Amino acid sequence: MTIYGNSVSGNCHKVAFVCDRLGIPNRWLEVDFLKGETRTPEFLAMNPAGQVPFIRFEDGRLLAQSNAIMLYLAEGSDLIPADAFERALMNQWLFWEQYSHETAIAVRRFHAFVLKKPDSDIDPALMEKGNRALGVMEGHLATRRYFVGEKLSLADLALVAYTRFAHEAGFDLATFPHVRDWVKRVEDDLNLTS
Ligand SMILES: N[C@@H](CCC(=O)N[C@@H](CS)C(=O)NCC(=O)O)C(=O)O
């Protein structure tokens, strides 16, 4: 299968995390959205949303949305809890990540780190929303090592993707020590170096 991805994008990293962890063979095709490569007619014919990541399977089927891709690729693996309620809790965090976390931390990182905008040109609400999200994570992780069921799951993979780069977005993980320790734990589990 081919992963249409971008090496700077945490959403794309999520797909790579699952493939690496589960040994799923793949071909990574780098897409530079800053050069408009997600807006070409060829790209939009495959993914009208004009976003990476998305997957093209050998038989031609296409799948977009990082968390949907992770769920499909990890089906039947130990990255998805066997217990139905724990699975629901994992999904709870996956939905939360997309609505309340990625939309602040990834977006602020894009403006600050990728586009190199000064703070004065970035919506201040993003900092407030991101800190609120990190606060929710900090409270949850105060008594747990992982987000669900005391073991690594897709919830950790989804949430670590941008949390590990929170400093590039202007957030200070020193004020969220449980989050900082969890990031290190998950990076070690996934053998991530940077
Ligand atoms: N909810 C989507 C978000 C995907 C997304 O925002 N992708 C960005 C890169 S992180 C992108 O492709 N941007 C290019 C564009 O919008 O043209 C997911 O989780 O896959």
Residue 194: what pLDDT?
63
Q: What is the pLDDT of residue 130?
A: 98
Report the predicted TM-score, pTM, of the whole model to 2 decimal places.
0.97
Using 70 as the pLDDT threshold, list the residues of the chain that sit under it: 194
Q: What is the pLDDT of residue 193?
A: 82
Q: Where are the domains of the chain?
A: 2-73, 84-189
Task: Convert 103-124 to b/e letters by CB count within 10 Å (16 or more is b).
Answer: ebbbbbbbbbeeeeeeeeebee
pLDDT tens track for 99-132: 999 999 999 999 999 999 999 999 999 999 999 9
For 145, other C-beta atoms within 10 Å of its C-beta total 14
Rounded CA separation 74/83 (Å): 15
How does DSSP classify residue 123?
-
Neighbours of 40 (CB within 10 A): 13
Topology at the third CATH level for domain 84-189: Glutathione S-transferase Yfyf (Class Pi); Chain A, domain 2 (1.20.1050)
For residues 95 and 109, give the distance between their C-alpha atoms in angstroms, rounded to a whole number. Answer: 20
Closest residue by CA, ligand 1 atom 11: 51
181, 194, 159, 60: CA torsion to nearest 10: -150
The domain 2-73 is placed in CATH, from the list 3.90.550.10, 3.40.50.1100, 3.40.30.10, 3.30.230.70, at 3.40.30.10
Closest-lying ligand 1 atom to the alpha carbon of residue 64: 20
- From ligand 1's centre to the CA of 177, what distance in Å? 29
Give the number of the atom of ligand 1 that is nearest the alpha carbon of residue 8.
10
CA of 68 to the centre of ligand 1 (A): 13
Separation of CA 52 and ligand 1 centre (Å): 5
